[in-house]
């Protein structure tokens, strides 16, 4: 069942980017940055793979991803500014956003201030939820936007670059991937299963 979900998720990402290209990258990264756990670790490396095939340009892929992050983060920021913590706690569970996730993002923001928005964009999990406490704190929107764009640009460029390099050496690396595809698939399934279990556990505790 989980394998089918992973395949469906990857298929959705690939279909959107293949059809819409840069706009698709921006759309998917906007969804991820709006506190919806759609993994950028799939979105950006596949975009980089298309760069290796000459279909896209690396810097444009990175910018499209960063712009999408800003757009999605604006939505999360607005929810935090206007709806506050009660709104996120009430509806976040439907997206597997637990009180623990919100607490973690709050602690990061309270401890390190505005720069957390930049640093948080370079950290898995934290990057998905960090825009919300910035909205609650009514952080300056222009600083929020600049930090979000710069941090997201680095993140998106790095993941796309990895996809580019994998694509350039796929004829060599593909042999090893096929040899260990069962193990790789099992590790991916385990990782996502642990991710879901962690969030469900925190939701139950909340």
Q: What is the pLDDT of residues 64-100, one digit of tens each?
A: 999 999 999 998 888 888 876 666 666 555 445 566 6
Q: What integer is the mean pLDDT of 114-131?
A: 80
Closest CA to 130 of 103, 100, 155, 105: 105
Report the pLDDT averaged over residues 131-157: 90
Task: Read off the tokens for 70.
Answer: 């800003």
Max mean pLDDT among 66-75, 100-109, 180-189 falls in 66-75
Evaluate if residue 110 carries a pLDDT over 60: yes
The pLDDT assigned to 9 comes to 67
Residue 100: the pLDDT is 63
pLDDT above 50 for 201: yes
- Going by C-beta distance under 8 Å and a sequence separation of 6 or more, which residues neighbour residue 168? 52
């Amino acid at each position: 069942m989980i394998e089918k979900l992973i395949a469906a998720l990857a298929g959705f990402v690939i279909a959107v980017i293949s059809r819409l290209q840069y706009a698709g990258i921006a759309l998917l990264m906007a969804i991820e940055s709006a506190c919806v756990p759609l993994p950028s670790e799939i979105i950006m490396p596949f975009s980089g793979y298309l760069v290796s095939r000459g279909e896209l340009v690396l810097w444009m892929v990175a910018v499209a991803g960063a712009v999408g992050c800003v757009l999605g983060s604006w939505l999360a920021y607005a929810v935090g500014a206007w709806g506050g913590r009660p709104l996120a706690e009430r509806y976040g569970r439907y997206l597997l956003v637990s009180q623990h996730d919100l607490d973690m993002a709050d602690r990061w923001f309270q401890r390190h201030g505005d720069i957390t928005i930049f640093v948080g964009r370079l950290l898995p999990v934290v990057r998905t939820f960090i825009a919300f406490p910035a909205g609650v704190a009514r952080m300056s929107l222009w600083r929020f936007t600049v930090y979000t764009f710069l941090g997201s640009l680095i993140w998106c460029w790095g993941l796309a670059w990895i996809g580019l390099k994998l694509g350039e050496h796929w004829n060599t690396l593909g042999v090893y991937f096929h040899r260990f595809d069962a193990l790789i698939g099992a590790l991916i399934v385990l990782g996502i299963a642990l991710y879901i279990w962690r969030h469900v556990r925190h939701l139950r505790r909340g």
